[in-house]
Amino acid sequence: MKKLGELFAERVFLLSALASSSVTIAILVFMVFMGFPMMREGGFYQLLLKPWEPYQGSFGIYPMILGTGAISLLSLVFAFPLSLGCSFLITTIAPKPVRRGFLRVIELMTGIPTVIYGFVGIFLLVPIIRELFQRGSGMCVLTASLVLGIMITPTMTLFFCDSFDRIPRTYLDAADALGASHTQKLLYVILPSARKGMLSGVILALGRAVGDTLVSLMLAGNSVRVPESVLEPARTLTAHIALVIAADYESPEFRSIFACGVVLYLFTMAVTFLVRYVGFAEDRNY
């Protein structure tokens, strides 16, 4: 009897796993299907390299691809050291009560809606950036990636904390016995053994940064030109979709946003595979 129940549960789980993974694939198929006419007419390649000038009949998404790349990678640059410091503090340095307090605060931060970050960014950070650099409007790549960086830090920190906690106690004890300092412990014991868990944290955070719409829509300025510096406005793929989705269904503008979807999808997929591959290769070396 128990066997039968187990078999049943197994099947149910298998089905739900199949369903969720097929939805992921179905989304890609749908986007390619909807964007296909556009990609065939202009060539997918051209779509990727041309500027966005709807009145001149050019629906390229090149500036948006660059915008997304610049903003999300820069936000990682801000978030990574911050998360590393936070998680090291929480797991190793700080005394227990402080540790728990910090962890609660960070958990709370993951739950703050992105619109709040965007709102605070507009009223606090934008004027500061504008006056600090005495250039532009303050709505720029830098502002958006700073706020995004703060937004993805909690997610990353929680992942880092998890992977630090999973390091065998004996490793740390051995390091302590050898008289290692905090820095040495972090560099030679914790980082090498927690690398894989940290990678997942970074992927997930990058996914959040690439996929976020509101923060970049509110803070990056959304101009369609390729930004020449981090102090210039830019538009991300997600913000572009949000801005163009109101266009007529039959228009080429509308169809081109499916290409944006495909690019976003492939971008996240490529990053995931790349990072997994790196992780794999390392495993084999050990």
Partner 1 sequence: MKRFSLLQLLLMVFVLLAAYSPAFSGSLDPFKNEKGVLKISGGTAHIPVMKEAAQKIMVVNPEIQISIAGGGSGVGIKQVGEGLVEIGNSGRKPTDEEIKRYQLKLYQWAIDGVATVVNPKNTVKKLTKIQVIDIFSGKIDNWKMLGGVDRKINIYTRDETSGTREVFWEKGLDKGAIAPSAHVVVSNGAMKTAISQDPYGIGYVSVGHIDKTVVPVALDGVVPTIETVRKGDYKIARGLFSNTKGDPVGLTKKFIDFLSTPDGRKIIEKQGFIPVR
Q: Which residues bind partner 1 (CB under 8 A)?
A: 51-54, 122-123, 126-127, 130, 134-139, 217, 221-225, 232-233, 235, 242-244, 246-249, 253
What does the buried/exposed string (b/e) look like for 138-160 if buried means 16 or more CB atoms within 10 Å of the residue's CB?
A: bbbbbbbbbbbbbbbbbbbbbbb
Q: How far is the CB of 139 from partner 1 (least distance, A)?
A: 6
Q: How far is the CB of 150 from partner 1 (least distance, A)?
A: 20
Q: How far is the CB of 230 from partner 1 (least distance, A)?
A: 15
- The token duo for 43 is 């060539």
The kind and range of the H/E element at 243 are helix 237-244
Q: Per DSSP, what are the bridge partners of residue 234?
A: 221
Closest to partner 1 by CB, 22 or 251: 251
Closest to partner 1 by CB, 186 or 215: 215
Closest to partner 1 by CB, 172 or 217: 217
CA dihedral 227, 233, 236, 241 (to 10 degrees): -120
Q: How far is the CB of 232 from partner 1 (least distance, A)?
A: 7
Closest to partner 1 by CB, 63 or 154: 63
Q: Residues 158, 107: contact at Cβ < 8 Å?
A: yes
As to burial, measured by CB atoms within 10 angstroms (0-12 exposed, 13-18 middle, 19+ buried), residue 47 is buried
Closest to partner 1 by CB, 151 or 244: 244
Q: How far is the CB of 247 from partner 1 (least distance, A)?
A: 5
